[in-house]
Amino acid sequence: MEQQIARMQKHLAEVPDMFRDRGEEETARRPAPGKWSAKEILGHLCDSAINNLARFVRAQTEQPYALIPYQQDEWVKAQAYQARPAFEIVQLWSSLNRSVVAVMAAMPPAACEHACILADGTTVSLRWLMEDYVAHMEHHLGQLSRQLGQG
């Protein structure tokens, strides 16, 4: 988990800078109809953190742990990220992911191999789930960087 923790700490340091000195109009701009704005992408990552933080805790104590999927587009709409100030979403994202890092750092090594059952019935380890979480985050952070003209 050390590698995932280090990658997340790097992102925790960098993401606030991506939004610093950006106007609300720029962060709310959608690149195309039906596509998320920068605020909505970061909001989606907040929703991912909310769901995965609970998964990472529960998978340590409930075996096997069956993941419950969530409706990503509906969560973004329900959270109204597009209408919220960007700095507020950045703070939420940062706080949630500091909690994710704390859970990763405190997790007993044996828990890494706990079974997690995906919606399609596939069984993966908790380690795999955490690695996938970081990869998913980095995919969307790459989108953010391109959308905000930083990549």
Q: Give the angle subtended at the CA of 42 by the CAs of 16 and 142, to the nearest 5°.
A: 80
Q: Which domain holds residue 71?
A: 2-147
**Neighbouring residues of 92: CB distance < 8 A, sequence distance ≥ 6:** 46
Tally of domains in the chain: 1
Residue 33 scores a pLDDT above 70: yes
DSSP 64: S
Q: What is the mean pLDDT of the chain?
A: 96
Q: How far apart are CA 96 and CA 48, in angstroms?
A: 10
Q: What is the pLDDT of residues 40-83, one digit of tens each?
A: 999 999 999 999 999 999 999 999 999 999 999 999 999 999 99
Secondary structure, 3-state, 83-95: HCCHHHHHHHHHH
What CATH number does the domain containing 43 carry?
A: 1.20.120.450
Average confidence (pLDDT) over 5-31: 96
pTM: 0.96
